[in-house]
Amino acid sequence: MTEASDLASAYDLVVIGGGPAGLAAAALAARAGVSTVLFDENPGVGGQIYRGITSTPLKKRAVLGEDYWAGAELAAEAKASGALIVTGATVWSLDPTRQVGVSIAGKARMIEARRVIIATGSLERPFPIPGWTLPGVMTAGAAQTALKAHGLVPNGRVLLAGCGPLLWLLAAQMLRAGARIEAILDTTLRANWLRAVPHLPDFLLSPYWSKGLALLREVRAKVPVIPIERLSARGEGKLQQVDYVSRGKDSRRQADVLLLHQGVVPNVNLANAAGVAHRWNERQICFEPVLDVDFGSSVPGIAIAGDGAGIAGGTAAAERGRIAAIAAVRALKPSASVPDPQSVRQKLQREELGRGFLDTLYRPADAFRLPEDETIACRCEEVTAKQIRDMAAIGCEGPNQMKAFLRCGMGPCQGRLCGLTVTELIAASRHTRPADVGYYRLRPPVKPITLAELASLPISEAERKAVER
């Protein structure tokens, strides 16, 4: 096991995140002879899509499907490449000079990087409904992680709600694993089907088409799918009941577990704190970094690959990681031989073809992004949508001012679960666009560290001299 004190003080390339983008990038760079370290905060590599790929207790390959097992090859390649792969390593700071703050087992280090590839992927879009903080309400991704990494399936009366490819994939995987799903509450807007039609030709050429259709058939054969317009979770101390409106009619169901999902968005925290410029993507309704063709960001030497660069899925993430790594190797070691990026770009293009259709079809309805008044928007500080609307109405123009007034985004999650909601609520209240409202200015540490961890940073020469003097 690598400890903080085992790390060198500098590496040619630091890759942050061990999902498909990070693994592919680290493998390519290390094979080209560039000194490479990959940090991942989880106990194992794989990221979320290949979560638990080297350790899953699920041995029946059919449960998770062949797309999941493709991750094993990526993990093996990275391991064999000579890159130093450190799991359980939390990167809590990255600055424009490419100083990387990392903690391993309670000890912190600052590492210098000549190049950085951020591959911190995506997270599930906030799904603020009344009662979403109740125990028993989780994200679909959480249930998928429980299944992949731990062989756990939800127990009792289980409902899935929302929209997006992951929801259907999870449903299929749970069913294959023998779990029972009472119903899927489908929030997909009917009108989105029409809007998505122009993107259909591209989608038909993408690998998603046949897989997606098979998945829908598999799930619909076993689980009732109910279209809904409104949703709330209720219960005393934990989830007991789910209320919804389907085609104008109020309904309710007893429930023990409610799994929410309405797509994924780039996890921008580390890049934002590093000073990387971001812009609003209206089709994917989220902020994404501004990147060049090699996934280089506005900060020299920092690239962002994978879904953190904008949502495109796991296979595309690996190709993006390779493109970013090729650019890094060319800059660091021009003599090294690397694959032709053009061929990688072509593969990437094919992977990205289906996005327009999926983004349009599964664009979450306003009702599930701009919550009702008493609904909690910021889970950490328990700030409601009404508080945010009221503050916007009296002149609060942006998320950073909102933070100062209401403390939304100031809790430990640092706005990951409220940032987009707050931006969109302000934009709607002030009749302006999310692009103009902007996002939280994020501050390091992007993951909390204990005072003891920070105090454990090795004492620099300058400080030692100051003390001795």
Residues numbered 253 to 272 that lie near another protein (CB under 8 A) are 256-257, 267
Which one, 72 or 410, has the nearer CB to another protein?
410
Interaction of residue 3 with another protein, rule CB under 8 A: no
Distance of closest approach, residue 99 Cβ to another protein, in angstroms: 7
Interaction of residue 153 with another protein, rule CB under 8 A: yes
SS3 456: coil
Distance of closest approach, residue 381 Cβ to another protein, in angstroms: 6
**Cβ-contact 384, 377 below 8 angstroms:** yes
Considering only residues 66 to 105 of the shown chain, the ones binding another protein according to CB under 8 A are 88, 90, 93, 95-97, 99, 101
Q: Which of 61, 217, 405, 432 binds another protein (CB under 8 A)?
A: 405
Distance from C-alpha of 363 to C-alpha of 21, rounded to nearest angstrom: 25
Distance of closest approach, residue 345 Cβ to another protein, in angstroms: 29
Interaction of residue 10 with another protein, rule CB under 8 A: no
Interaction of residue 216 with another protein, rule CB under 8 A: no
Q: Which of 13, 138, 228, 391 binds another protein (CB under 8 A)?
A: 138
Distance of closest approach, residue 106 Cβ to another protein, in angstroms: 8
Considering only residues 159 to 188 of the shown chain, the ones binding another protein according to CB under 8 A are 177-178
Which one-letter DSSP state was computed for residue 125?
P
Question: One symbol per residue from 224 to 253: x for binding another protein (CB under 8 A), - otherwise; what is it?
Answer: -------------xx---------------
Distance of closest approach, residue 144 Cβ to another protein, in angstroms: 9
Considering only residues 266 to 325 of the shown chain, the ones binding another protein according to CB under 8 A are 267, 275
DSSP states of 89-137: EEEEEE-TT-EEEEEETTEEEEEEEEEEEE---EEEPP---TTTTSTTE
Considering only residues 12 to 41 of the shown chain, the ones binding another protein according to CB under 8 A are 41
Which one-letter DSSP state was computed for residue 6?
G
Which of 133-147 are b and which e, b meaning 16 or more Cβ less than 10 Å from the residue's Cβ?
ebebbbbbbbbbbbb
Q: Calculate the CA dihedral of residues 23, 90, 413, 270 and round it to 10 degrees.
A: -60
Nearest to 391 by CA among 429, 417, 418: 429
DSSP states of 312-365: --HHHHHHHHHHHHHHHHHHH-TTS----HHHHHHHHHHHHTTHHHHHHHTPPP
Handedness of CA 393, 399, 405, 408 (dihedral sign): positive
**Cβ-contact 375, 127 below 8 angstroms:** no
Considering only residues 318 to 377 of the shown chain, the ones binding another protein according to CB under 8 A are none
Distance from C-alpha of 396 to C-alpha of 384, rounded to nearest angstrom: 15
Q: Which of 85, 327, 380, 422 binds another protein (CB under 8 A)?
A: 380
Q: Whole-angstrom distance between the N-terminal and C-terminal Cα of the chain?
A: 38
Interaction of residue 198 with another protein, rule CB under 8 A: no
Site for another protein (CB under 8 A): how many residues? 84
Amino acid at 144: Q
Distance of closest approach, residue 338 Cβ to another protein, in angstroms: 31
Considering only residues 409 to 468 of the shown chain, the ones binding another protein according to CB under 8 A are 410-414, 416-417, 443-445, 447-452, 454-457, 459-460, 463
Interaction of residue 192 with another protein, rule CB under 8 A: no
Sheet holding 158-163, edge to edge: 137-139, 257-262, 158-163, 183-186, 225-227
Which two three-digit tokens encode residue 338? Answer: 């690397």
Distance of closest approach, residue 393 Cβ to another protein, in angstroms: 14
Distance of closest approach, residue 166 Cβ to another protein, in angstroms: 12
